[in-house]
Amino acid sequence: MWTPIGRAGAALLLMLTLVPPVPLDAVSAASTVPAGSDPPTMPAPSSPAGGPFRWPLAGGTRVTRRFDPPPRPWLAGHRGVDLAGDVGVEVRAAGGGTVLFAGPVAGRPVVTVGHRDGLRTTYEPVRSRLTAGVHVDAGTPVGALLAGHPGCPAPACLHWGLRRGDAYLDPLALLGLGRARLLPLDPTPPGP
């Protein structure tokens, strides 16, 4: 039986009880950064909320560009997030897994790490001495950040990506910082 709060209120209440809270400063810091502004720095916890994933750059992390996937797989979009850093800063595996690839892709050096559940994280541009098949733990250095990422407003930017199969996902979701979407509890079937 529905109470006076209605279905929308019940859906919101259910979402609030099921979704863990995210600190407001982390959400605002992860927002899209307007051109010409100085983005806030987010702390790089060793393992957010006890989870298996962490930030791939040491120290504070500044998100300069958010995940913005295209509406269709063949269209242009931003299939990862850009994190500001300094040239030569250590890039670390966001989670434990196996190096699947370390080498150039379209002329840029990339490292790909395979994780459980079919997840793969990518890091570019990164100079690495690792080879495919090497096991890494969360926080293991995978290489050094290079300059040259297009559109980067900092001395260097790490493009951090996440995929499951052919689907690109928001890597910030690994840290509990992905964008939330409300879905209906009882979707209405399409009508005639």
22-175 is a CATH 2.70.70.10 domain: yes
Residue with more model confidence, 56 or 10:
56
- Supply 97's token pair: 């897994």
Mean pLDDT for the chain overall: 74
Averaged pLDDT, 53-79: 80
Domain segments of the chain as ranges? 22-175
Confidence of residue 151 (pLDDT cuts 50, 70, 90): confident
- Supply 82's token pair: 């850009």
Residue with more model confidence, 178 or 138:
138
Which residues does 102 contact at the CB level (< 8 Å), separation at least 6?
109, 110, 111, 112, 128, 130, 131, 132, 142, 143
Phi, psi angles (nearest 5°) of residue 53? -115, 155
Percent of the chain with pLDDT over 90: 42
Confidence at residue 190, expressed as pLDDT on a 0 to 100 scale: 60
Helices (H) and strands (E) in the chain, counts: 2, 11
